[in-house]
């Protein structure tokens, strides 16, 4: 049986005017996802997380092009599909919750209209059954008095409620995969936690698989089964969530973990030296080498290939951290 979703050696670049500047936003990304699983994609700003999400549902802007690789949903090739065929897949089989949830809601349509649309279009709910379905979805995302609130417009809802409405819209098409791109970035911490718990509950109830994009490692620990750490358009480490926290193998992952503020210590906060590279002018060799404390000569000339460390872990590093040297 093929995995539910498989992304294989995907490359997608943004091209500047007349091809002058090429930004390698996705540069050989591979991962797979099974039903009910949560895959976390983490990394600093600008490393290609959102581009990867957009590429999967074929919603990259016109300046971008997928140059190679494969994306398969239950073995079906998504890159060979026309945009008309993709419209049957988006919402019905793969739903997205985007980085800015406000931008996903139409200010002129009622909550009812917006939640009803995918249920009507993708799942053929009509009339009284459609109304009932919208009510169920709004209750599932814990909107109080759904019958009354569904007449409201988005601006009549609080930020946390709007976020949950976006969740209800994603669920309305009955998808197999939900891609959630930093869905909690604009929420305060208590509402953030409520929303994450809600997503987990909904996932348990529906068996949907999640791709969860964040730069917050605390959220990764809470939400994900396995994690891909992205740097400069590549997944530099892939591990189970437990492996990642207890036994990171790439120096960048280790540096990310060291940058988490710790309670009860007055030590200055660790900051990764330098900046992520400009993706249109990548350094020679490993993209992380200018910031890496253990870089050696080979790292400056030769790009590390993907190495399988054990069944579940891969890294792109010539000198992966040894189990003995990591926390454990």
Ligand X SMILES: Nc1ncnc2c1ncn2[C@@H]1O[C@H](COP(=O)(O)OP(=O)(O)OP(=O)(O)O)[C@@H](O)[C@H]1O
At closest approach, how far in Å is the CB of 15 from ligand X?
8
Report the SS3 class of residue 249: coil
Beta bridge partners of 97: 180
Comparison of 96 and 247: residue with beta carbon closer to ligand X: 96
Binding residue for ligand X, selected from 5, 7, 10, 23, defined by CB under 6 A: 23
Binding residues among 58-117 for ligand X as defined by CB under 6 A: 61, 63
Binding residues among 161-220 for ligand X as defined by CB under 6 A: 215
Report the chain's C-alpha Rg in angstroms: 21
DSSP E strand boundaries for 141-208: 177-181
Binding residue for ligand X, selected from 36, 46, 174, 290, defined by CB under 6 A: 46
Binding residue for ligand X, selected from 4, 5, 25, 202, defined by CB under 6 A: 25
Q: Which run of H or E residues covers position 9?
A: strand 5-15
**For residues 213 and 180, what is the distance between their CA atoms, to the nearest angstrom?**
6
- And the tokens for 178? 């939900």
Binding residue for ligand X, selected from 171, 279, 286, 292, defined by CB under 6 A: 279
Comparison of 49 and 133: residue with beta carbon closer to Mg ion: 49
Stretch of residues binding ligand X (CB under 6 A), selected from 40-48, 166-174, 285-293, 315-323:
40-48
At closest approach, how far in Å is the CB of 48 from ligand X?
4
The closest alpha carbon to 177, from 61, 66, 56, 282, belongs to: 56
Residue for token pair 């599932």: 140
The closest alpha carbon to 251, from 286, 213, 300, 201, belongs to: 286
Each residue 112-151 as x (binds ligand X by CB under 6 A) or -, in order, gives: ----------------------------------------
Binding residue for ligand X, selected from 10, 28, 29, 49, defined by CB under 6 A: 49
Comparison of 125 and 212: residue with beta carbon closer to ligand X: 212
Stretch of residues binding Mg ion (CB under 5 A), selected from 49-57, 62-70, 191-199, 269-277:
49-57
At closest approach, how far in Å is the CB of 64 from ligand X?
6
Sign of CA dihedral 65, 117, 96, 190: positive
50 in contact with Mg ion (CB under 5 A): yes
**For residues 90 and 95, what is the distance between their CA atoms, to the nearest angstrom?**
6
- Provide the H-helix boundaries in 28-158: 49-56, 83-89, 101-104, 111-123, 127-140, 146-149
- And the tokens for 323? 């189990």
Stretch of residues binding ligand X (CB under 6 A), selected from 48-56, 86-94, 236-244, 286-294:
48-56
Report the SS3 class of residue 108: coil
Which of Mg ion, ligand X, none interacts with 14 (beta carbon under 5 to 8 A by kind)? Answer: ligand X
**For residues 59 and 71, what is the distance between their CA atoms, to the nearest angstrom?**
13
Which of ligand X, Mg ion, none interacts with 63 (beta carbon under 5 to 8 A by kind)? Answer: ligand X
Binding residue for ligand X, selected from 20, 45, 190, 265, defined by CB under 6 A: 45
Which of Mg ion, ligand X, none interacts with 196 (beta carbon under 5 to 8 A by kind)? Answer: none
Sign of CA dihedral 220, 225, 230, 233: negative
How many residues belong to the site for ligand X (CB under 6 A)?
15
Contact 12/3 with Cβ under 8 angstroms? no
DSSP assignment string, 162-176: HHHHHHHHHHHT--S
Q: Report the interface residues with Mg ion, using CB under 5 A.
A: 49-50
Q: Report the interface residues with ligand X, using CB under 6 A.
A: 14, 23, 25, 43, 45-51, 61, 63, 215, 279
């Amino acid at each position: 049986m093929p995995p539910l979703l498989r992304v294989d050696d995907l490359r997608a670049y943004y091209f500047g005017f007349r091809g002058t500047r090429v930004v390698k936003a996705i540069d050989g990304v591979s991962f797979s996802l099974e039903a009910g699983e949560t895959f976390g994609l983490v990394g600093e700003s600008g490393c290609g997380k959102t581009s990867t999400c957009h590429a999967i549902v074929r919603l990259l802007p016109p300046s971008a092009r997928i140059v190679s690789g494969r994306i398969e949903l239950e073995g079906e090739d998504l890159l060979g599909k026309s945009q008309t065929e993709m419209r049957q897949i988006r919402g019905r089989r793969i739903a997205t919750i985007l980085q800015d949830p406000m931008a996903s809601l139409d200010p002129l349509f009622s909550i009812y209209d917006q939640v009803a649309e995918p249920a009507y279009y993708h799942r053929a709910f009509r009339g009284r059954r459609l109304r009932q379905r919208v009510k169920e979805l709004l209750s599932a995302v814990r909107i109080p008095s759904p019958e009354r609130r569904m007449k409201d417009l988005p601006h009549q809802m609080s930020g946390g409620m709007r976020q949950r409405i976006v969740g209800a819209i994603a669920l309305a098409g009955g998808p197999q995969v939900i891609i959630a791109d930093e869905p909690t970035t604009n929420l305060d911490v208590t509402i953030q936690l409520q929303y994450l718990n809600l997503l987990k509950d909904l996932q348990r109830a529906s068996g949907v698989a999640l791709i969860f994009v964040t730069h917050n490692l605390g959220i990764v620990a809470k939400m994900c089964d396995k994690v891909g750490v992205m740097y400069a358009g590549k997944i530099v480490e892939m591990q189970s969530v437990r492996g990642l926290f207890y036994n990171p193998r790439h120096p960048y992952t280790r540096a990310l973990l060291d940058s988490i503020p710790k309670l009860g210590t007055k030590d200055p906060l660790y900051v990764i030296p330098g900046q992520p590279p400009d993706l249109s002018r990548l350094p020679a060799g490993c993209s992380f080498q200018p910031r890496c404390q253990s870089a050696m000569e080979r790292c400056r000339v030769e790009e590390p290939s993907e190495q399988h460390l054990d069944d579940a872990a891969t890294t792109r590093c010539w000198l992966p951290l040894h189990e003995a040297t990591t926390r454990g």
